[in-house]
Chains A and B, each alone.
Chain A
Amino acid sequence: MKKISERFSEKTNGLLNFADLKKTRFKALYWIMFALLMNFTLACVVPTIWVLSSGLKTTEEMYRIPPTIIPEVFRWEQIPIAWNKISFGKNFLNSLWIILGCLLFDITFNGLAGYVLSRIKPKGSAIVETLVFWSMLLPTISMVPLYITFVDVPLIHVNLLGTFTPMWLIAGANAFNVLLFRSFFNGIPMSYVEAARIDGCSNLGIFRRIILPLSKPIIMVVSIFSITSSWSSFMWPYLVLGSTDKVPVAVRLYELSTKGTTIQDNEMMIITTFSIIPPLIMYMIFSKQIMGGLDMSGIKG
């Protein structure tokens, strides 16, 4: 660990540099900013921790006056009781199906579209590019037209309500990811593609053998964002699967919070915590990739 004064004397970037930080008033400013950031950090972290810990209080303690911020006794045994009471495992499994399907559709269709628009560019594909680009800019007209589409899919006339397919289809048409893939593939030299073509590789073969192995970082980033977003998506699963036994975690949470007659507040907190833990673990493992992915997507995200 370097001493803080050493770090001050090495600082050359930003609004305050090493010369400024020799002065007392700028040093004071620095520590004021540090303290303010501490407060921001607390505001970001404390609400979650409060909910996590309050779930372990007894119902009596939750409403006691004077209140206790931190539980007197951590009642860990309440965790499995809450889990079993609502048989939450089923909902986790449903979420898993949604996530896996969305991931597959997201990577396959948006990846292929990005690849074709970037490295093959067949005649007329500029139209597709325009369509994709504008679909990122246009707002949606309520959820009804898409809902109607799922009730009666054009041409094949199938009703997709009560299945996971609508969520997968939505994940497969993500304009932002198409453009993200495209801009990444633009960095893969055209000569690789042409060399493979001379060796007799088909377009799909080039994608499988040349593009995919070089695309691990982008696939990683897209996967992380795809998984976290399908884990937390609520509205479409709710409309499509609502009140069936196929609802994912987010929808079940909502249903419990509205119809929950037998669910106590502290149990609700534990259940909410269950839904936070998987993305939290993802974040702990992949925080570097997540931050990097945000930088990669830049301002257009």
Chain B
Amino acid sequence: MKKTAGQGAEKKNAGKFFESFKANFSGWMLIVPSLILFILIVWRPIVIGISYSFFELRGVTPAEFVGLENFRQVLADTNFIKTLLNTVKYVFWSLIIGFPMPFIAALMLNEMVNCKGYFKVAMYLPVVIPGMATCLIWKMIYMDGGGGFLNMLLYFFGIGPLNWLSNANLTIPLIVIMMSWHGFGTTLIMYLATMQSINQELYEAARLDGAGFWGRIRHVLIPHMSGTMLLLGIRQIISVFQVTEQPLVMTDGGPNGASTTLGLTGYNYAFRYGQYDKAMALGVISFLILLVLTFIYFYLDKKTQN
């Protein structure tokens, strides 16, 4: 009797193990394709990007270990500091121009009792326009001579025609205006969602305490929004820091390198001059800078969620 019971339990255990193996196995089968894709598209490139940056490449294969030589060449390039500063300028202007606008617009939109839907749909419109079309539209707006939209407007004020993108001092802010215009709607909707989640009783309490319009903004709205603002701000810094496509299309880095970014320099190294190794070394440098920002983002994200 005892023996058979033991055997039964053993069989049951084996069956259970088999069942659980089967369940796990078929689960894994469904996720393995995704896993392979993630490794191929995301993780392996990071690993080979870092490791290949210490090699001299022949074609696309590493030929000779050169230590930090690629990094030395990238940093010794006379334009490196200028390009880094340009990239920082993009970030700076995007914080000045692109950061406060959606917040102010969301704040006002949240108060509307009429035309709210119309405003929302219209202000989200630029997001829908493809990036390339956005660049070309703004290129035509900024066009030098009489055909550009800005110069047309200025004509009616008796000014101009002025030079826009070909003016080295204006190039970066003008490109940032274009980028802010394009990204405005997404950020607006996100701010709006957070604003709508503010507990009304907080406003009532502030009102009872005699807080006016600005008082309510300062003591209720801003404290509630600060987490979101910080996160969106850092995310904006991270994405603007990598900007490549816009200067490529709008000015090709010109005039005379005035709007070249780190991303565009890397693009030029790789796809104009075929220096893949230098491109990767530059990529690693900006990767490290961005990693610091990402950790800050991650830390704050955790903190705001708690």
Neighbouring A residues of B271 by C-beta, 8 Å: 239
Q: Which of A240-268 contact B (CB under 8 A)?
A: 249-251, 253-254, 257, 265, 268
Nearest CB to that of B24 among chain A residues? A122
Complex contact B34–A110 (CB within 8 A): yes
* Least distance between B46 CB and chain A CB atoms (Å): 6
Complex contact A109–B186 (CB within 8 A): no
Neighbouring B residues of A170 by C-beta, 8 Å: 41
Q: Which of A112-127 contact B (CB under 8 A)?
A: 112-113, 115-117, 120-125
B124, B139, B238: the one within 8 Å of A257 (CB)? B139
Q: Which of A21-69 contact B (CB under 8 A)?
A: 26, 29-30, 33-34, 36-37, 40-41, 43-45, 47-48, 50-51, 54, 62-67, 69
Q: A37-B108, A143-B267, A144-B276 are in contact. Are A48 and B238 (CB under 8 A)?
A: no
- Per-position binary interface string of chain B over residues 44-81, scored 1 when its CB falls under 8 Å from any chain A CB and 0 otherwise: 11101110100000001100000000000000000000
Stretch among A81-89, A145-153, A215-223 lining the B interface: A145-153
Q: Does B5 sit within 8 A of A, measured CB to CB?
A: no
Nearest CB to that of A114 among chain B residues? B34
Complex contact B42–A139 (CB within 8 A): no
Q: Does A100 sit within 8 A of B, measured CB to CB?
A: no
Which of A17, A122, A123, A239 gathers the greatest number of chain B CB atoms within 10 Å?
Answer: A122
Neighbouring A residues of B40 by C-beta, 8 Å: 149, 153-154, 169, 173
Which of B27, B181, B216, B228 gathers the greatest number of chain A CB atoms within 10 Å?
Answer: B27
Neighbouring A residues of B49 by C-beta, 8 Å: 141-142, 144-145
Complex contact A112–B31 (CB within 8 A): yes
Q: How many residues of B contact A (CB 8 A)?
A: 113
Q: A139-B287, A139-B291 are in contact. Are A131 and B35 (CB under 8 A)?
A: yes
Q: Does B266 sit within 8 A of A, measured CB to CB?
A: yes
Q: Does A234 sit within 8 A of B, measured CB to CB?
A: yes
Neighbouring A residues of B37 by C-beta, 8 Å: 109, 169, 172-173
- Tell me, in angstroms, the Cα distance from A4 to B156 when the chains sit together: 36
Q: Does B245 sit within 8 A of A, measured CB to CB?
A: yes
Neighbouring B residues of A204 by C-beta, 8 Å: 26, 30
* Least distance between B237 CB and chain A CB atoms (Å): 11
- Tell me, in angstroms, the Cα distance from A257 to B39 when the chains sit together: 36
Complex contact B231–A272 (CB within 8 A): no
Nearest CB to that of A64 among chain B residues? B146
Q: How many residues of A contact B (CB 8 A)?
A: 110
Q: Does B244 sit within 8 A of A, measured CB to CB?
A: yes
Neighbouring B residues of A4 by C-beta, 8 Å: 113-114
B33, B50, B122: the one within 8 Å of A109 (CB)? B33
Q: Does A190 sit within 8 A of B, measured CB to CB?
A: no
Complex contact A291–B189 (CB within 8 A): yes
* Least distance between B305 CB and chain A CB atoms (Å): 9
Neighbouring B residues of A144 by C-beta, 8 Å: 49, 266, 270, 276, 279-280, 283
Complex contact B114–A7 (CB within 8 A): yes
Nearest CB to that of A151 among chain B residues? B60
Nearest CB to that of B298 among chain A residues? A137
* Least distance between A66 CB and chain B CB atoms (Å): 6
Q: A7-B114, A116-B31, A142-B283 are in contact. Are A294 and B186 (CB under 8 A)?
A: yes
Q: Does A186 sit within 8 A of B, measured CB to CB?
A: no
Stretch among B6-14, B86-94, B125-133, B165-173 lining the A interface: B125-133
Q: Does B249 sit within 8 A of A, measured CB to CB?
A: yes
Neighbouring B residues of A113 by C-beta, 8 Å: 31, 34-35
Q: A44-B123, A173-B40 are in contact. Are A298 and B193 (CB under 8 A)?
A: yes
Q: Does A231 sit within 8 A of B, measured CB to CB?
A: yes
Complex contact A62–B30 (CB within 8 A): no
* Least distance between B38 CB and chain A CB atoms (Å): 5
Which of A128, A175, A290, A294 gathers the greatest number of chain B CB atoms within 10 Å?
Answer: A294
- Tell me, in angstroms, the Cα distance from A145 to B55 when the chains sit together: 13
Complex contact B38–A131 (CB within 8 A): yes
Nearest CB to that of B130 among chain A residues? A232
* Least distance between B136 CB and chain A CB atoms (Å): 5
Q: Does B18 sit within 8 A of A, measured CB to CB?
A: no
